[in-house]
Amino acid sequence: MTKGIKIATIGGGSSYTPELVEGFIKRYDEFPLSELWLVDIEEGKEKLEIVGNFAKRMIEKAGLPIDVHLTLDRREALKDADFVTTQFRVGGLSARAKDERIPVKYGVLGQETNGPGGLFKGLRTIPVILEITKEMEELCPDAWLINFTNPAGMVTEAVLRYSNIDRVVGLCNVPIGMEMGIAKLLDVDHSRIHIDFAGLNHMVYGLDVYLDGVSVKGEVLQKLADPENSSFVKNIDGIGWEPEFTQALDALTCPYHMYYYKSKEMLDKTIESSKAEGTRAEVVQALEKDLFELYKDENLNIKPPQLEERGGAYYSDAAVRLITSIYNDKRDIQPVNTMNRGAIASIPDESAVEISCVITKGGPVPLAVGDLPVAARGLVQQIKSFERISAEAAVTGDYNKAVLALTINPLTPSDTIAKQVIDEMMEAHKEHLPQFFQEKVTVNK
Ligand code: G6P
């Protein structure tokens, strides 16, 4: 008998897991999964049990022969896996709350994946993902690593640069969220919309957008002036774009661009909302509490609609559609994070980019775009440099590199402020940043 398909999901106790399970159920005909291993750490044990038992009920309801295993032993889960999906959060939501709150004291944006928050999430996450890739080399050398852990672009960059794994794909829900949002704006089915994506994670542009193969970019750009239409994710409130700006840029922006092209408004908004309702991490903590209460209900066996209040909606669709296409060598087009290999001229060939790719059994093949619009190039290069230097700091524990990374980030007003923010955040996250408090290592870049 041939071995069935095995998936290991690291951070399996996440409240997002039912999304993923729903995705596997929906696509079972094309992707006959036989073992789903949900892995977590000791601190996440209770959540793992709750969400894992709920996953078992969802699968039972669907009547599918998928075995769900819950474990705290990552090695056992990785052994002979075909796909490894990663969705963990080092330090949990309380670490995210610090990333969001501390920078604001210094007048700098506090956000999960941008500016100082993105840097520190990367510093905590990258050493862990590199441990996982080492274990994969030993226990499942042919497996694909599908990473959703943020900052997904920086994490993919680090895996490409510092691990021996080349079967890695970074995944984000922003592109699929943009497609869904535009389909809604135009009141058409999602399947009729196609966007040519190119850029970086949380900094991706839609170079063109088509309805049934015909460009509707002009019409869509006009609609982005309406605040209601300018964000496609639940975690960011839109502020309408100036039509002169979007028309001249001649490309669709993603919701995260608001932090860069509307820095002042977004900083003010973040300060206001964190005073009124707490940081996004705190809002999400409350949402999670309710979600886990729901998941505990023995009678619940389908994904509850409340999960859609999280910014990561459609993750399952994006993830399972990607895994299914790799498995079946589908050669369809999907936006993912992968090695550039010349697809965007102004980004190094070996760096991670987020771009529309043909998905084959050999992995994503990026569709070359030539280059980004001249107005977008500089910012994208600056963020790529920030990601590279941040990844290097994460691996080496070099404090000066962390200061350098934050100083060159466009959201930071000065090197002195960068250093002050870093000092407070290093102390606050000390237990998850051992590399900065031990003897240093040297790496080849
Ligand atoms: C998005 C991003 C994800 C992020 C999520 C946060 O849309 O693409 O990378 O994890 O929002 O959502 P949350 O509900 O946790 O604020």
- C-alpha 269 – ligand 1 centre gap (Å): 17
Q: What percent of the chain clears pLDDT 70, i.e. is strictly above it? A: 98
121 contact partners, CB below 8 Å, separation of at least 6: 90, 95, 96, 99, 112, 113, 150, 151
CA distances from 337 to 146, 190, 329, 441 (A): 10, 21, 18, 28
User: Is the preceding peptide bond at 366 cis, omega within 30 degrees of 0?
Assistant: no
Given this model, what pLDDT does residue 423 score? 98
Structure tokens at 66: 């998928």
- C-alpha 312 – ligand 1 centre gap (Å): 5
- C-alpha 152 – ligand 1 centre gap (Å): 11
Pocket test for ligand 1, best of 14, 155, 173, 237 (most atoms within 8 A of CB): 173
Q: Which residue has the higher pLDDT, 315 or 61?
A: 61
Three-state DSSP class for residue 392:
helix
Given this model, what pLDDT does residue 440 score? 64
- C-alpha 429 – ligand 1 centre gap (Å): 21
- Measured from the Cα of 148, ligand 1's closest atom is 9
Given this model, what pLDDT does residue 442 score? 65
Ligand 1 shell residues, CB under 6 Å: 150, 172-174, 233, 235, 280, 284, 310-312
- Measured from the Cα of 172, ligand 1's closest atom is 8
Residue 272 CB-density burial (10 A; 0-12 exposed, 13-18 middle, 19+ buried): exposed
- C-alpha 140 – ligand 1 centre gap (Å): 29
Query: What does the alpha-carbon distance between residue 118 and residue 256 come to, in Å, rounded to a whole number?
Result: 12
What's the whole-number mean pLDDT along residues 227-252? 85
Q: Whose CA is nearest to atom 6 of ligand 1?
A: 311
Given this model, what pLDDT does residue 307 score? 84
Listed residue (184, 183, 206) closest to 193, CA to CA: 183
Per-residue pLDDT at 252 exceeds 70: yes
Given this model, what pLDDT does residue 441 score? 61
Query: What does the alpha-carbon distance between residue 120 and residue 406 come to, in Å, rounded to a whole number?
Result: 10
CA distances from 367 to 30, 350, 372, 375 (A): 25, 15, 13, 21
What's the whole-number mean pLDDT along residues 254-259? 95
Pocket test for ligand 1, best of 234, 258, 285, 354 (most atoms within 8 A of CB): 234
What's the whole-number mean pLDDT along residues 47-62? 97
Structure tokens at 262: 């509307």
Q: How confident is the model at residue 381 (pLDDT cuts 50, 70, 90)?
A: very high
Given this model, what pLDDT does residue 308 score? 80
- Measured from the Cα of 255, ligand 1's closest atom is 7
Query: What does the alpha-carbon distance between residue 443 and residue 445 come to, in Å, rounded to a whole number?
Result: 6
Q: How confident is the model at residue 306 (pLDDT cuts 50, 70, 90)?
A: confident
Q: Which letter does DSSP use for residue 370 in this model?
A: B
- C-alpha 232 – ligand 1 centre gap (Å): 11
Q: How confident is the model at residue 443 (pLDDT cuts 50, 70, 90)?
A: low
Cα dihedral sign, 250-254-255-256: negative
Per-residue pLDDT at 445 exceeds 60: no
Q: Which residue has the higher pLDDT, 79 or 317?
A: 79
Q: How confident is the model at residue 314 (pLDDT cuts 50, 70, 90)?
A: confident
Residue positions annotated with a catalytic role? 256
- Measured from the Cα of 233, ligand 1's closest atom is 7
This prediction has a pTM of: 0.95
Of 227-241, 402-416, 422-436, least confident by mean pLDDT is 227-241
Given this model, what pLDDT does residue 1 score? 40
**Average pLDDT, whole number, for the chain?**
94
Given this model, what pLDDT does residue 235 score? 82
Q: How confident is the model at residue 413 (pLDDT cuts 50, 70, 90)?
A: very high
For residue 430, give the amino acid letter.
K
Q: Kindly report, residue by residue over 93-131, the tens digit of the pLDDT.
A: 999 999 999 999 999 999 999 999 999 999 999 999 999
Q: Whose CA is nearest to atom 13 of ligand 1?
A: 311
Given this model, what pLDDT does residue 2 score? 52
Q: Whose CA is nearest to atom 11 of ligand 1?
A: 311
What's the whole-number mean pLDDT along residues 259-274? 93
What's the whole-number mean pLDDT along residues 313-327? 90
* Calculated CA dihedral for residues 133, 138, 139, 141, nearest 10 degrees: 70
